[in-house]
């Protein structure tokens, strides 16, 4: 399960920026908000989870489950949210692996799927 700091660090790496100030600009928040996230004084709300998911091109529900696990008051609640995050993360990875051949992507390059933009990784399912 990833933490708030892990997601912020991923944004830094993906966008090739060095400072939390730059990450704050990417997310459209004040640096003080980002500092509160970084130091555990606050966590992403649902709207911020969606923004972070868009930047990282991941499932927003996965980030939401990670945030709920991070802010859980008891171990029992934390474990439930950690399992949910693991399932959601696994589902996203499974979909990427299952759709890779259909998209003409070699499975050895599958980790690069995470770097695709939303437009490049859209999946359309049509039912008869």
User: pTM of the full predicted structure?
Assistant: 0.69
pLDDT attached to residue 114: 42
8 A C-beta contact, residue 36 and residue 42: yes
| Average pLDDT rounded to a whole number, residues 33-47 | 94
Report how far residue 63's alpha carbon sits from residue 5's, in angstroms, rounded to the nearest whole number.
12
- Does residue 41 surpass a pLDDT of 80? yes
Residue 119 pLDDT class (50, 70, 90 cuts): very low
How far, in Å, CA of 77 to CA of 56, rounded?
26
> What domains can you pick out in the chain, each with its CATH number?
4-115 (1.10.260)
pLDDT reported for residue 89: 81
- Separation between Cα atoms, residue 34 and residue 20, nearest integer Å: 7
Mean pLDDT for 26-50 is: 95
Structure tokens at 71: 């802010």
Closest among 49, 67, 69 to 59, alpha carbons compared:
49
């Amino acid at each position: 399960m990833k933490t708030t700091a892990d997601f912020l660090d991923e944004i830094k790496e993906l966008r090739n920026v060095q400072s939390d100030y730059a990450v704050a600009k990417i997310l459209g928040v004040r640096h003080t908000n980002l500092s509160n996230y970084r130091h555990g004084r606050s966590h992403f709300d649902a709207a911020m989870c969606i923004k972070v998911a868009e930047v990282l091109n991941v499932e927003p529900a996965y980030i939401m489950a990670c945030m709920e696990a991070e802010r859980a008051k008891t171990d029992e609640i934390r474990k439930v949210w950690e399992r949910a995050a693991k399932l959601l993360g696994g589902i996203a990875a499974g979909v990427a692996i299952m759709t890779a051949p259909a998209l003409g992507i070699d499975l050895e390059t599958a980790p690069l799927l995470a770097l695709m933009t939303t437009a490049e990784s859209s999946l359309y399912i049509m039912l008869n």
